[in-house]
Amino acid sequence: MQNLSEHQKGLLYVLTAALLWSTGGLFIKLISFSAMQLSFFRCSIAALTFALIFRKRILIANKLSVANSFIYAVVLISFVIATKTTTAANAIFLQATAPIYVLIFEPILTKTKYERINIVTVGVCVLGMILFFVGKLEPGHLEGNLVALISGITFAAFFLGMKRNDQQYQQSSIFWGNIIVAIVCVPFLASLELITSSDVWMVSFLGVFQIAIAYAFFASGLKRVIAVEASIISMVEPVLNPVWVFLGYGETPSIYSIIGGLIIIVAITFRTLYSGSGLIIRRFKT
């Protein structure tokens, strides 16, 4: 690490964050807790880790950061529910559509005209999204796909809210978002019957590394690389997520999901390269 330039360190930090994010699907699948029980432990641990890393910065808040906390809570819970009820590929690819909602709603908020490249990108991504809802769906997959769409939409809303706020409020929004999830999920612990040692270490990994440490790596890396580089490297996460689930859980996504996911990733990647700046939506990962 000592021989690496600051730029090389930045690339490595962003890649590390993307790799950590990509493990979410596998561990969510393997953990025996229900979605709400898992969310309680995952977010409680993440909040504690965040407090240890960022300390007083988690207390710096304003009205918009509070609103963003509630939106982020929805993102966190909906992603876990989607991963539990549909395939991990569907959950991550449909959440990865968040940038297209940004392309749709940001001009409305900023009162600017739609760019032709954005309209084309949205159209292509919608085509990819449709493929997730064709072919044979297992029981619960349709509901899971819809929840995954909600995760993507709220993820985009959270990104836009964070973008409109000052950077100093980012840590508090993410910290309190995790706290809100933990509070909401407390009643579901009443039905918890068994906690295994494997559940403990896996949910601890999700809270400490997949959320908190990954964010710290990405935030540090983003200071050293340009936006387009971070955006492209972050696409490692939706690509590897279903791969880890296939290798560790044996879940195979449908051919339609694979094609749809590739269409979405290619469209967003091309849009990012075209713009030269990128949509750094992965800074606020679930």
d(CA 96, CA 216): 21
203: Cβ contacts below 8 Å, ≥ 6 apart = 27, 31, 33, 38, 41, 42, 45
CA pair distance 258, 239, nearest whole angstrom: 10
Burial of 56 (0-12, 13-18, 19+ CB in 10 A): exposed
Enter the pTM of the model: 0.88
Assign 161 a pLDDT band (cuts: 50, 70, 90). confident
Q: Looking at the predicted structure, is the pLDDT value of residue 4 above 80?
A: no
**Ranked by mean pLDDT, which of 1-10, 87-96, 198-207, 225-234 comes out on top?**
198-207
Q: What angle do CA 133, 138, 141 make, to 5 degrees?
A: 55
Asked if residue 242 lies in contact with residue 92, where contact means CB atoms within 8 angstroms, the answer is yes
For residue 132, give the DSSP letter: G
- Contacts for 274 with CB less than 8 Å, ≥ 6 apart: 117
CB atoms within 10 A of CB 223: 10
> Is the per-residue pLDDT at 64 higher than 80?
yes
User: For position 79, what pLDDT does the model report?
Assistant: 94
* Rounded Cα–Cα distance for residues 179 and 158 (Å): 16
The answer on pLDDT for 276 being more than 70 is no
